[in-house]
A and B are shown apart, each in its own frame.
Chain A
Amino acid sequence: DTGVSQNPRHKITKRGQNVTFRCDPISEHNRLYWYRQTLGQGPEFLTYFQNEAQLEKSRLLSDRFSAERPKGSFSTLEIQRTEQGDSAMYLCASSLAHRGAKVKVANVLTFGAGSRLTVL
């Protein structure tokens, strides 16, 4: 399977605890994205990487959130001191963007199955 893999699929934690999610993108893809989705809403952009560089982070993203992609392959998203408002589905996606690629192709995201976080 060469799709986007996320784990854990479900995480239940108590308020104030730290949680970490992992994403393994499609191996040929150099861009990796994190989105968050709450019930009844579309996915909301959080941050993205090109290779190991984090190029953009949403202004809406609290300092409690940190993401890494240390070797340009898998990525982790850590949430510190979780709050009930952090309960959501955290989606990872990847795409291929390079100088010769058409923009529209680079915008084609393949999503993983998501990691659902419940903060009690």
Chain B
Amino acid sequence: QKEVEQNSGPLSVPEGAIASLNCTYSDRGSQSFFWYRQYSGKSPELIMFIYSNGDKEDGRFTAQLNKASQYVSLLIRDSQPSDSATYLCAVPNAGGTSYGKLTFGQGTILTVHP
């Protein structure tokens, strides 16, 4: 089992719809979870991170974490064509001082069509 798994998609949603991106992880010791967005040919940029069970909202984005199920998701409300990108789930190395050593999923390609 991969350490971080995402549905590779592609996921296609109409403009204005809710896009739901999912990620599962294998290390139960993981404490925080990151979502990055990567436009084609560009580098990843952080959207948000979450470390507590439940929901965390930031504008049109909501991250949801369920540590018991080892599941984290990202919801994008009122999807726009500009949201079309690859979304990467990342989990830091659990414990120790290896901050920034992130394990990424393979990414989910999202296309929002007008």
Task: List chain A positions with a Cβ less than 8 A from chain B.
Answer: 31, 33, 40-45, 48, 55-56, 91, 93, 95, 97, 103-104, 106-114
7 additional A-B pairs beyond A42-B88, A107-B100, A107-B102, beta carbons within 8 Å, are: A33-B100, A43-B88, A48-B101, A55-B97, A103-B92, A106-B99, A107-B99
Partner of A97, one of B31, B100, B103: B100
Could you tell me if A45 and B49 are in contact, using CB atoms closer than 8 angstroms? Answer: no
Residues of A within 8 A of B105 (CB): 42
Q: What is the interface of chain B mostly: helix, strand, loop, or mixed? A: loop
Residues of B within 8 A of A95 (CB): 99-100
Chain B residue at minimal CB-CB distance from A42: B104
Residues of A within 8 A of B8 (CB): 40
B14 touches A (CB below 8 Å): no
Number of A-B contacts (CB under 8 A): 70
Task: List chain B positions with a Cβ less than 8 A from chain A.
Answer: 4, 8, 31-32, 34, 42-46, 49, 51, 88, 90, 92, 97-107
Partner of B90, one of A42, A112, A114: A42
Residues of B within 8 A of A56 (CB): 98, 101
Most buried by A among B8, B42, B43, B103: B43
The complex places the Cα of A56 from the Cα of B98 at a distance, in Å, of 8
Partner of B43, one of A33, A40, A55, A112: A112
The complex places the Cα of A111 from the Cα of B34 at a distance, in Å, of 14
Chain A residue at minimal CB-CB distance from B31: A103
The complex places the Cα of A108 from the Cα of B47 at a distance, in Å, of 10
Most buried by B among A33, A93, A107, A114: A107
Name the distance in Å between A78's Cβ and chain B's nearest Cβ.
21
Could you tell me if B107 and A104 are in contact, using CB atoms closer than 8 angstroms? Answer: no
The complex places the Cα of A112 from the Cα of B49 at a distance, in Å, of 19
Could you tell me if A41 and B102 are in contact, using CB atoms closer than 8 angstroms? Answer: no
